[in-house]
A and B are shown apart, each in its own frame.
Chain A
Amino acid sequence: MSNSPLTPGVVPGRLPAETIARNFGDHEAPLDAHEARVAADRCYFCHDAPCMTACPTGIDIPLFIRQIATGTPEAAAKTILGQNILGGMCARVCPTETLCEEVCVREVAEGKPVEIGRLQRFATDTLMAKGVHPFTRGAATGRKVAVVGAGPAGLAAAHRLAMKGHDVVIFDARPKAGGLNEYGIAQYKSTNDFAQAEVEWLLKIGGITIKTGVALGAGVTLAELQASHDAVFLGMGLAGVNALRAPGEDMAGVRPAVDFIAELRQAKDKSVLPIGRDVVVIGGGMTAVDAAVQSRLLGAQNVTIVYRRGQEKMSASGYEQEHATSAGVRIVTNASPVAVHQAGSALEVEFAYTVDGPDGMKPTGETFRLRADQVFKAIGQTLSGAPEGLALAGGKIAVTGAGRTSVPGVWAGGDCAAGGEDLTVTAVAEGRDAAEDIHAALMARQ
């Protein structure tokens, strides 16, 4: 194969296969035992620690770090997983720079936080490598709970429910469980098929059955689930993709970034994946960064993220933005897509410069065009196929308290539920808390 970053069109193998394989290895190398103890020693064991407050799952971070420092990473892992059963994945994908590590007193003091995310990975990896599942099922209750969606929210809910002794069936539309952990995050954050390994490890609790290829409205209905189960938890995420609402959007070469990311995650050999010489990613969040960076890692020559508002409004963190630019991605802000044009064998995306003032965003009147072999849309996902009868809020399932929907006996959490940030760790917290609420409701009903 003699393709290079300069080869016109959309072609595979722009870089040597071994380079591509290396590019998709661990973005951040795991800590070894000594590095972990040194990193752990930097923790001040703060009183009422800010990091703990900042963690959506409320992990006792100073405690688990002290457990690492004293040579018991397994105990540390149990501290983590007791609050967050997907602590292994969260250690890899959490935007710690805007959560625990942002408020670490050492970040405030020195601009160099305790490496909480990497330490969490060290602890959880150590335990999982031993094949230990540190939780056991409670006595069987005879109650059955249906969980829709095998992503972070559904898995967290299912695990907590199983621990309480309930029987859980998870339904998922995709062929594999894991949700966005399996299909939605950048490859270099989840190497060695970690998402599947984590699901397998989680299922060791017992009492959980997963049925794949089944979605609400495609194989099963909410009414059927309600009839056959004592409670239902909805955690199916956001399957729809926002449209650009620009002419030319439906041209070949324009596709959702999430589809590109999913395809990339599922490919065993990344060097056979075709990628454009010129790639344009439209959006300002983590999905945009993941799509853009991975395009570069596949060998695209020019990759540009275009975001319609100012840089400060981008939902990708400063750390993520820096990661993108250091991977050679150009970030253009204050430019809104106007149209997609055919330009020979490639495309051109036309953008209008914008100003974001107190009266909202307005075009300046100036436009420009970017050449693109591929255009990835990363401007947000939407809930699709919400069951009839559920009240919605802002296009998502409305919830009160710990994920209670407007329909009794039906709970929801994760990205498909209104409120909360759309983060893995938030989904885990919502799934876990809904499970506790479901358990309380079921046990009160006897």
Chain B
Amino acid sequence: MADLTSNFIGIKSPNPFWLASAPPTDKEYNVRRAFDAGWGGVVWKTLGSEGPPIVNVSGPRYGAIWGADRRLLGLNNIELITDRPLQVNLDEIRRVKKDYPDRALVISLMVPCDEESWKDILMRIEDTGADGVELNFGCPHGMAERGMGSAVGQVPEYIEMVTAWVKHYSKMPCIVKLTPNVTSILPPAMAAKRGGADAVSLINTIKSVTNVDLDTFSPFPMIDGKGSHGGYCGPAVKPIALNMVGEIARHPETRGMPISGIGGVTTWRDAAEFMAMGSGNVQVCTAAMTYGFKIVQEMISGLSQYLDEKNMRLDQLVGRAVPNFVEWQDLNLNYVTKAHIDQDACISCGRCYAACEDTSHQAIAMSPDRVFTVKDEECVACNLCVNVCPVENCITMVEMPKGATDPRTGRVVSDYANWTTHPNNPMARAAE
């Protein structure tokens, strides 16, 4: 069995699966259950300043998107940071860390954007024994209206300033949690780095409304007939998160900065993908909220099996896909594939035909007896037929060998060449 021991910015854990700062990590009872179930680490639900605790709504805090059989695909929440007294949280953190010394325990923080508030909270948590802090610059609902959470994460200067305060007043490793509610994830990540952050974690949730009740015309989640946007998470957000993680991992200015990957991690496979895209570990929330803490067992066994099969160490997986994550202009325009339909696997549903004929390139022929074949002279290899085919691997993209002639363009398949040198590109540079 592969060694899953993780060392993320000096914080050790028996595996790279942490629970993200969220409802599941709100209190001692839950966190003990999580550690007992096998989670490698926990980011304690966000603490705020000393004073009267935050108040949450007493109606629905969540909205959801479902697939068939009510498989939960996306979750939206309007819960705020912890609504329990600061000292209660601190006492619990101390007790839990003492009983689970081998697990990672990081504390998420969100206080007003002034130096005193941060200095104060850091002093309060210094002696809990926690392994590090995560700065919540991500939550897009509720707290953002009060100038915290994503309101900070959307202003790189604030990120840099607060991060610098934290590094100044605390020796603890500092993770900056980023909001995806920005036009580019790079400026916030760069700001965190400039401020001295040891790592970034992303993504926090995405501003969202899950649905509108068509009888009451209330957006969801609904409180007394009204709805406000929440934060979206779960399997549906994974593609957005993977891109943002990859963008940070590959950019010259942020490359090498440790990343804790978050966003729809549901299975070991999702976790492995995040790590290949540059995450040193992953944080999970929605999957645990959907299925309970036991899922970590599948994540552990799955990742171990994968690493064993690949004869790879965990640290060799991290970042392995990053060199292959490029800009569009770097893609090989001389790479030519054609869709191929495996007639033995085909069940003749005709979805590829409908998709191609109605919405794409009219590159699939249908015979009277429902045999579907690709017209190579029309196929642009868009992959839509592969995506809509209900049978896995029935339609595949077959690469044309160099020297062959593409029947669609009449051009011979040749060596790598991209847009930057393409004759149609007015900005083309001469090939070197």
Contacts and interface: CB of A to CB of B under 8 A. Distances in A.
Interface of A: 34, 37-38, 41, 44-50, 105-106, 108-109
A32 to B, nearest CB: 13
Contact of B351 (A44, A50, A106): A44
Contacts, number: 35
Nearest to B355: A47
A105 B70 CA distance: 24
Contacts of B256: none
Given A44-B390, A108-B347, A38 B353 contact: no
A47 B351 CA distance: 6
25 contacts: A37-B68, A38-B68, A38-B69, A41-B68, A41-B69, A45-B351, A46-B350, A47-B350, A47-B351, A47-B353, A47-B354, A47-B366, A48-B350, A48-B366, A48-B370, A49-B350, A50-B348, A50-B370, A105-B347, A105-B348, A105-B349, A106-B347, A108-B347, A108-B348, A109-B347
Contact-size category for B: 10 to 19
3 residue pairs, one from A and one from B, having the closest CB atoms: A47-B350, A41-B68, A47-B354
B391 interface: yes
A46 B351 contact: yes
Interface of B: 68-70, 347-351, 353-354, 366, 370, 390-391
Nearest to A37: B68
A193 to B, nearest CB: 34
Given A47-B350, A109-B347, A109-B391, 10 more contacts: A37-B68, A41-B68, A41-B69, A45-B351, A46-B349, A46-B351, A47-B353, A47-B354, A47-B366, A50-B348
Contacts of B354: 47
Contacts of B348: 46, 50, 105, 108
Contacts of A44: 349, 351, 390
A199 to B, nearest CB: 35
Contacts of A41: 68-69
B344 to A, nearest CB: 11
B349 A47 contact: yes
B222 to A, nearest CB: 18
Contacts of A49: 350
B161 to A, nearest CB: 50
A105 to B, nearest CB: 4
Contacts of B347: 105-106, 108-109
Residue picked from B70, B347, B351, B366, most chain A C-beta under 10 Å: B347
Contacts of A45: 351
Contacts of B390: 44
A45 B352 CA distance: 11
A103 to B, nearest CB: 9
Contacts of B353: 47
A280 to B, nearest CB: 43
A35 to B, nearest CB: 10
A48 B390 CA distance: 16
Contacts of B350: 46-49
A171 B49 CA distance: 85
Nearest to B353: A47
A246 to B, nearest CB: 46
A136 B15 CA distance: 67
A38 B69 CA distance: 5
Nearest to A48: B350
B379 to A, nearest CB: 18
Nearest to B352: A47
A287 B70 CA distance: 41
B87 to A, nearest CB: 46
B345 to A, nearest CB: 9
A108 B346 CA distance: 10
A46 B390 CA distance: 10
Residue picked from B70, B350, B354, B366, most chain A C-beta under 10 Å: B350
Contacts of A46: 348-351
Contacts of B349: 44, 46-47, 105
